[in-house]
Amino acid sequence: MNFSGTWGLDMGNHASTNEQHALPADLSGAPNNRWSVDAVESLFATPFNDLIFRAQQVHREVFDPNAVQLSTLLSIKTGGCPEDCGYCPQAARYHTGVDREETLTVEQVVTAAAAAKERGATRFCMGAAWRGPRQRELEQVIEMIRAVRGLGMETCATLGLLKEGQAEQLKDAGLDYYNHNIDTAREFYGEIITTRTQQDRIDTLSRVRAAGIHVCCGGIVGMGESRRARAALIAQLANLDPYPESVPINNLVQVEGTPLHGTPKIDLFEFVRTVACARITMPKARVRLSAGRREMPEAIQALCFLAGANSIFYGDRLLTTGNPEMENDQLLFAKLGLRAAP
């Protein structure tokens, strides 16, 4: 391996950070500050220490660097999904051992939310393995949202594609956030999912925005994409107008039976770089260190927090796969002097 580019020799593909990658004066993410894929790719190519330093600088301008927001996930409808997302254990067509289950009752959801609140989570995110909700299903979720709000928690839902008018109904129920990821660069999307286009996702995001619900939108890395594709994903997120309030960065959780099982794993420093690029390009967003955390050494997680991640999924499960035990996260927070964001 040739490390010469990282030893301070000017290899022509990066320069000292401060001049080359000057921050836009206006941090709002307004359209006149659009990020090109080239600009994000050159961020990725910055020497690691410079990149992390810069991300930390941006982070400190906006956030308390030691406060991490905690969201707990619950799968309210598991398995049997008609879509073909190559990463997902819940797609009916793959044999992953995740069976189709009935939608949870409002009582089951409230019990889980109350337990999450008790453990310190501030946001409760309800996920369903649907292409999108039917009206009757949406009404069930609306009841859940009302009940979880009644506990005084922030609410988030991730239900797939929304039709005209559905986002407004969720807003009326008091939904705070809608999670809907663009998942990967437009150019790579067709390699991963064929049952919808990325534009379908973007249309739903527009509906969510127009209804006045906060947008939670990010993607997955470690799916065999190139660095250029990762840069394109980050640029696309940063160029949403406005960019999302919450940006989950997932590392692919490989599940046997899915097409992406066996994909070569992403180098974890590259994962940290992705977090840093999200932080730098979306200064005011909560960047969430999302799926894949259980498989990540604590030292890498600490680098992600240093690179500007300030939100995690907190709870022993994600949707169908595992997440670090809550007790372990509490110990990690204690070791790093981190605390839960109010």
For the annotated catalytic residues, the residue numbers are 81, 85, 88, 125, 156, 216, 288
Alpha helices in 164-295 (DSSP H): 166-173, 186-192, 198-210, 227-238, 268-281
Query: Which candidate, 249, 190, 196, 246, places its Cα nearest to that of 222?
Result: 249
Selected from 291, 304, 309, 338, the binder of ligand SAM by CB under 6 A is: 291
- For residues 12 and 81, give the distance between their C-alpha atoms in angstroms, rounded to a whole number: 47
- For residues 297 and 310, give the distance between their C-alpha atoms in angstroms, rounded to a whole number: 17
- For residues 18 and 6, give the distance between their C-alpha atoms in angstroms, rounded to a whole number: 16
What residues between 213 and 242 interact with ligand DTB by CB under 6 A? 218
Stretch that binds ligand DTB, among 235-243, 260-268, 270-278, 313-321 (CB under 6 A): 313-321
Size of the site for ligand SF4 (CB under 6 A): 9
CA distances from 186 to 79, 121, 234, 235 (A): 26, 33, 11, 11
Selected from 37, 52, 58, 88, the binder of ligand SAM by CB under 6 A is: 88
Stretch that binds ligand SAM, among 102-110, 137-145, 148-156, 177-185 (CB under 6 A): 177-185
191 class by beta-carbon count within 10 Å (0-12 exposed, 13-18 middle, 19+ buried): middle
Say if residue 82 is preceded by a cis peptide, omega within 30 of 0. Answer: no
Residue 211 contacts which entry, ligand SAM, ligand DTB, ligand SF4, none (Cβ below 5-8 A, type-dependent): none
Selected from 72, 155, 179, 246, the binder of ligand DTB by CB under 6 A is: 179
Residue 183 contacts which entry, ligand DTB, ligand SF4, ligand SAM, none (Cβ below 5-8 A, type-dependent): ligand SAM
Nearer to ligand SAM, 88 or 338 (CB): 88
Least distance in angstroms from the C-beta of 156 to ligand DTB: 8
Whether 23 and 59 have beta carbons less than 8 Å apart is answered as no
Stretch that binds ligand SF4, among 85-93, 96-104, 198-206, 242-250 (CB under 6 A): 85-93
Stretch that binds ligand DTB, among 36-44, 188-196, 229-237, 317-325 (CB under 6 A): 317-325
Whether 244 and 282 have beta carbons less than 8 Å apart is answered as yes
Whether 181 and 219 have beta carbons less than 8 Å apart is answered as yes
Whether 129 and 79 have beta carbons less than 8 Å apart is answered as yes
Selected from 37, 58, 162, 291, the binder of ligand DTB by CB under 6 A is: 291
Residue 91 contacts which entry, ligand SF4, ligand DTB, ligand SAM, none (Cβ below 5-8 A, type-dependent): ligand SF4
Nearer to ligand SAM, 55 or 128 (CB): 128
Selected from 69, 155, 239, 250, the binder of ligand DTB by CB under 6 A is: 250
Q: Which long-range contacts (CB under 8 A, 24 or more apart) does 32-40 make?
A: 34/238, 34/239, 35/234, 35/235, 35/238, 35/239, 35/281, 36/235, 37/228, 37/231, 37/232, 37/235, 39/235, 40/231, 40/232, 40/234, 40/235, 40/238, 40/277, 40/281
What residues between 90 and 109 interact with ligand SF4 by CB under 6 A? 90-91
Residue 73 interacts with ligand SF4 (CB under 6 A): yes or no: no
Residue 70 interacts with ligand SAM (CB under 6 A): yes or no: no
2 class by beta-carbon count within 10 Å (0-12 exposed, 13-18 middle, 19+ buried): exposed
Alpha helices in 246-297 (DSSP H): 268-281
Selected from 46, 72, 122, 181, the binder of ligand DTB by CB under 6 A is: 181
Stretch that binds ligand SF4, among 80-88, 102-110, 219-227, 237-245 (CB under 6 A): 80-88
Would you tell me which residues interact with ligand SAM (CB under 6 A)? Answer: 87-88, 90, 127, 129-130, 158, 160, 180-181, 183, 220, 250, 252-253, 255, 291, 319
Would you tell me which residues interact with ligand DTB (CB under 6 A)? Answer: 73, 89, 127, 158, 179, 181, 218, 248, 250, 253, 290-291, 318-321
